[in-house]
Amino acid sequence: MKLIKGYAFAMLATFTLISCEDEVPKIGFSSNSSEVIEGSTVSVPLSVAIPSGVSPIINFTGTATEGVDFEWAVSADGKELVFETFPDDFFDEETIIIEITGFSGSANVGATVTHTINISDPGMLVELTWIGQDGLSADLDIVIFKENSPGSGEYSEVFSSEDSGPNETTVLRGDYTNANYAIAINYFGGLSNEVDFTLNLSTSVGTINGNDNEISFNGTLTQYHIDEDSELTYVTLAKNNFNYSNFSNLIIDLPLEIILSWNAGNGTAGDVDMDLTLFYLNPDTEQFEVIDGSYFGDSPTETVSLPLNEPNGTYGLRYEYFSGSSNTLSFTATFSLNGIGNFSGTTNSVISFNGAYTLSNISGSDTNISQTFVKSGNTFSNFSAVSIPVSGSGAQLEDSFLKKKNKARFAGRSNKKEKGAARAILNLNK
């Protein structure tokens, strides 16, 4: 009887021991990989729920960094690992490689111990590349602006990329508010007078203009654009979640360029020099104020520009016979639009006016307005005929005494800005 009882007890103990061993769960992943959009949360299912009081021991590899790009936790029911990803100012496709190496508590590692989360960036990648003229230096920056209120045309800076490289890269983040944005280019500094650039915009999650995932813009900037008084070059667009549309044309602040060229006539071409000055007629003072000037002594042409941000009103040009021996100096003033604006009464983007000076025009021409026109927004009209100056005559010039002693571009274009001090406001109501 005691033997039977002992045998029965032994059998019961053996049965109980086997049952406890079977109750220790083997926990792994239900799949090998999953996808998530940066800034979103993803749940990774486990093959068996993690018991209460048990914690997984996990090793992370991949390109994403815990605490920077993501945080994680075990779900309340223990059936999932939950990952929260964070947006940033970099466009990158990242990965989180999760490896379960063990558990602190009564649980064992299951069959599938590794799972990869692929994080896609929902933003719009902004890439700017450029080449300076003849290998000369140039430094361009990217500034992203957001419209303050729908239809206001007033934009405030939200982010900028200001490296010194031969290129700039940033992102219009996917978590930014739906609104109108402007991607602006700032010619920060350099020696190149012609900088050819390409602005490339792309997305991997959403769309560009409904069907595409990429769009590019090309343009050229000059030394004029270094001046802090010039407007930034920009493209506007509308953001709707991860879709980007309604792209404007590339707007470069150089709506009107005036080039003065000449023929020396019976003089020696090399010893003839003309100068070109652009004025604005201030309605308050009724005086012409200098806007731009070109006074190169060794150039066969002179060029000035009328920026977008100059006020509407009357403008004057002075075509000055600065020096030379020609008694029949003929010249041409050519007005060119650079993809912006129009000339009233014509669809042409270039118009020209001719004139001729004699030696008597060398003296007295310094204080005369040779031609006037009117600016209204981006429309230019009311061009007068070219006026030939008379010795001793004058006009209402704010700087009628101005005489160029050094032959250089007036008020030369210099770097007035500092990195990190990009213009925080962009007003498109021009």
Q: In the numeric block, which tokens belong to residue 126?
A: 């902004």
How much is the pLDDT for 222? 84
pLDDT of 10 over the 60 cut: no
Q: Are 58 and 74 in contact (CB under 8 A)?
A: no
Q: Are 334 and 283 in contact (CB under 8 A)?
A: no
207-208 and 243-245: which strand pairing?
A: parallel
How much is the pLDDT for 390? 55
* Of 403 and 74, more confident: 74
Confidence of residue 424 (pLDDT cuts 50, 70, 90): low
Q: What percent of the chain has pLDDT over 90?
A: 60
How much is the pLDDT for 228? 67
Q: What is the DSSP string of 242-299?
A: TEEE-PPPPB-S--EEEEEEEE-TTS-GGG-EEEEEEEEEETTTTEEEEEEEE--TT-
- Among residues 397, 373, 260, which one has the least CA distance to residue 321? 260
pLDDT of 221 over the 70 cut: yes
The CB density around residue 122, as the number of other CB atoms within 10 Å, is: 21
pLDDT of 107 over the 90 cut: yes
Helix (H, G, I), strand (E, B) or coil at 367: helix
The phi, psi pair for 420, rounded to 5°, reads 85, 0
Q: Are 79 and 87 in contact (CB under 8 A)?
A: no
Side chain identity at 233, as an amino acid letter?
T
> For the whole model, what pTM was predicted?
0.67
Sheet holding 329-337, edge to edge: 301-306, 256-263, 329-337, 350-357
How much is the pLDDT for 420? 46
- Report the mean per-residue pLDDT for the chain: 84
14-18, 201-205, 244-248, 322-326: the lowest-pLDDT one: 14-18
How much is the pLDDT for 325? 84
pLDDT of 229 over the 90 cut: no
How much is the pLDDT for 272? 85
3-state helix, strand, coil in the chain (%, to 5): 10, 45, 45
The secondary structure element, H or E, covering residue 16 is helix 2-22
Q: What percent of the chain has pLDDT over 70?
A: 82
* Of 227 and 328, more confident: 328
pLDDT of 234 over the 90 cut: yes
* Of 267 and 128, more confident: 128
Confidence of residue 326 (pLDDT cuts 50, 70, 90): confident
Residue 204's alpha-carbon distances to 91, 174, 175, 214, 284, in angstroms, are 10, 11, 15, 9, 54
The phi, psi pair for 167, rounded to 5°, reads -160, 165
pLDDT of 364 over the 60 cut: no
Helix (H, G, I), strand (E, B) or coil at 133: helix
